[in-house]
Structure 1
């Protein structure tokens, strides 16, 4: 085997060489290749954001409608039929108790003037089956 010495001649040149002024012009070359405007980045959550806003709006609307209905339909007046039914069904007040609670002005307002003849009144009472109820009341 032959002795191999690194110090001896002829030396083999490496096949790898850097061009002249490579490292000095490298930063300029890279800056030219970078695009001037950065590409627009679209978030993955952009579409989800819109759906979340729509869902929130629907939820707020769904909660607001019953509250609005409750506030707008509040009435303090009772209709006559409801009051009459309540007094007739739910209370133990008879007509004499009600009359005793009325004032004289209220009683005067309730008087009904009728121009019934005696014959008409007799016909009505004779044909009515609840004659006993009229007599006892």
Structure 2
């Protein structure tokens, strides 16, 4: 194979040629071809900003649900039927446990004397066939 030397070979002329004084007037011609009004610029972060705000709002609402739920369900008053059912179905609660939970004012209000006629007591005892349980209670 022959050795190829770049400097010795004849050079081929390019097919492209710039017109005379082309680069001197280039900037003026380019500025005339540009539109006068600039296009509206839409920020990339504008859509992201709306998305971030929506995610933040959902996060705040999600964090507030347990707090609002706790504040609406926490009541210090007990339902009387729930308390009666609890005491009824708990076999280890006796009268002394109940009395220890009462204050002295409550105990004094329970000490009122109830007057029942003798005839009423006789009627209840005669109608009730389970006298042994009544005596034991």
TM-score, structure 2 length as denominator? Answer: 0.58
- Output the aligned Cα RMSD: 3.5
More displaced, 58-67 or 43-52?
Answer: 43-52
The aligned residue for residue 13 of structure 2 is none
Query: Aligned partners of 1:31 and 1:102: how far apart in 2?
Result: 96
Closer/same/farther in 2, CA of residues 113 and 63 from structure 1, 3 Å limit: same
More displaced, 123-132 or 99-108?
Answer: 99-108
Query: Aligned partners of 2:41 and 2:100: how far apart in 1?
Result: 85
1:79 lines up with 2:51 in the alignment: no
Deviation for aligned residue 1:65? 1.3
1:29 lines up with 2:29 in the alignment: yes
The secondary structure found in structure 2 opposite 1:54 is: helix
The 4+ residue runs of structure 1 with deviation greater than 6 A are: none
Question: Where do 5+ consecutive residues of structure 1 fail to align?
Answer: 1-15
Question: Where do 5+ consecutive residues of structure 2 fail to align?
Answer: 1-16
Query: Aligned partners of 1:17 and 1:101: how far apart in 2?
Result: 108
Closer/same/farther in 2, CA of residues 69 and 30 from structure 1, 3 Å limit: same
Aligned length: 121
Closer/same/farther in 2, CA of residues 29 and 132 from structure 1, 3 Å limit: same
- Which protein is bigger by CA-based radius of gyration? 1
